[in-house]
Chain A
């Protein structure tokens, strides 16, 4: 098994655009703008005391979830990480419910039972993460196992960070998926820091190399290029559906904010942040689309209006009833199942 390295910073490279219509490329921009705008709005709400607990965002990493989730079909299933809001947006979770989630409202996806991006909307085929990273790699592997056992042409996808590569569940999932040759796509979101711990204290080899050790393909992509991430995910999904087994995609990016709202990121050299700021995924996609004649400012205005409306809706939503805090620990009736998600990529229309 070879470890491939996709070209970094492949701006508008043919490989990245062969499967994307202009409308898809606008969709990617829109998803990233919505993610950033919603997280910025949530941070404002946090500072106003309306978001309890802490707040975690994915500023600068929007391309990773947008690009990868965009390649997933309605019947595919996703376990999404906390810096990957765009995946939820692409699957069809509304901005108002996401803001409701942050604010602990009854209308949030977990109805106030969990906070932040600790959610998965089961009605659109997503299972929410837990804080023990990367536990969801095993859950995604199990979904893929069921798809394969039943002979279904579907795949599972999950995201995790560079810190996750140190834990046993990362290795157990990679090994299991390799042994059973499962249709699962692992997205390693390498954002340079696990909280404050840099890569050189996390691993002695580039973790994408480990894919080969478990018997499948590992690919490195520019994690700040939504189209490059999409292309890697699309190819990985195709491989999965053709019984080619799992793929590990290492999306190299940078966490531009602290681990959470309280973290001033003093441990990150300023030059490193400035260097990565020049590679901002939204700026990059905007420049591409502007060149192609798209009115990017109009897209931005639309997104802002959507976020404003969502904010009003979320702020008007009730808090959960305290009497309900002890309810719902067990499923009392028929087991709920995951529903199918939105899959806006034009490739699914063919």
Chain B
């Protein structure tokens, strides 16, 4: 075990994969000599060379499209979007070419797309988004979102080993803020949910950076026993883990950093309405970013992103129901 940051865990997973499997290559904008906008691939080019740590033209559709081509002839490309927001430029290749390939032609597309996502540091409307729900709605693409250093490493290994396209949502605000013990070497974290903290009075269901917001908000909540369920994987969604928490806790708050409408949490709420109704002791509550672009100025951004205080308020309201 080694104690590393979330960002170091991502780097370690990539390095381990590049060492272990010659089919793996990482490709993206400014990831070679520069080491990436967030330095995830810092120093990689010296160890693995410019062919396997590939500085690409500034063309997201091409990054995804060429990765698909390389994957179907036996490579295991890991694409970096410099910011998750830029995946909009590669959306068509991911959704129409990669996502539908296996269903149509029985041909696997083992690509991993790393998506540095999330806000909280004045990145503004084009460097702060959480686009995971776009891909949840598109068949054929898996979506994972680690919240801890250990899961950051284990989910990335699992994503690269998976024969399907996987969107790996790495939250920028966790890069250097979150640290933890991580097993050495290659290991896989399953695409299932994780109980971040067990409880019995209420469950907060969330993922990514909001796991930490939820833990902080409910750490000392008037003596209530609050469970926090970290989804970790959005596709596949661990429905049994969600329903199990609902059954044990009976009250549910769902937190998304993403815009509210049709967010991952909306799917969780729908699942609970369909299959967990009998277990509920109150309305399902949601806390999410309202349907606005993420504003730049700190007071505006803080006004829209779910805060510890907003989550706490929602929990108090539901506990009192």
Contact = CB atoms under 8 A, between A and B. Distances in A.
Given A135-B93, A149-B25, A120 B65 contact: no
Nearest to A125: B73
A172 B103 contact: no
Given A138-B93, A172-B65, A335-B108, A328 B73 contact: no
Given A114-B104, A329-B139, A142 B163 contact: no
Interface stretch (B53-61, B144-152, B173-181): B53-61
B258 to A, nearest CB: 23
Contacts of B97: 130, 132, 135-136, 139
Of B74, B92, B106, B163, the most chain A CB neighbours within 10 A belong to B106
A262 B83 CA distance: 44
A176 B55 CA distance: 11
A330 B142 contact: yes
B105 A122 contact: yes
Contacts of A29: none
Interface string A105-131: 000011001100011101000011011
Nearest to B22: A150
Interface in B100-148: 100-108, 110, 139-140, 142
Interface in B64-95: 64-75, 77, 92-93
Contacts, number: 138
A131 B95 CA distance: 12
A274 interface: no
Contacts of A53: none
Nearest to A118: B104
A328 B67 contact: no
A150 B93 CA distance: 24
A38 to B, nearest CB: 20
Nearest to B165: A330
Contacts of A85: none
Contact of B66 (A109, A145, A329): A145
A178 to B, nearest CB: 10
Interface residues of A, number: 46
A181 interface: no
Contact of B69 (A118, A120, A156, A335): A156
Interface string A130-169: 1110011111111111110100000010000000000011
B51 interface: yes
Contacts of B163: 331, 333-335
Contacts of B65: 135, 137-139, 141-142, 169, 172-173
B140 A329 contact: yes
A110 B61 contact: no
B139 A138 contact: no
Interface in A293-338: 328-331, 333-338
A144 B67 CA distance: 11
A298 to B, nearest CB: 36
Contact of A141 (B66, B72, B75): B66
14 contacts: A127-B69, A130-B96, A135-B65, A135-B93, A145-B66, A146-B73, A149-B52, A172-B57, A172-B61, A176-B56, A176-B59, A176-B66, A330-B102, A330-B164
The 5 closest A-B pairs by CB, nearest first: A142-B69, A138-B65, A142-B66, A335-B108, A335-B163
Interface of A: 77, 109-110, 113-114, 118-120, 122, 127-128, 130-132, 135-147, 149, 156, 168-169, 172-173, 175-176, 179, 328-331, 333-338
Given A127-B69, A176-B62, A337-B73, 8 more contacts: A127-B101, A138-B64, A138-B65, A138-B68, A141-B66, A149-B52, A169-B92, A179-B57
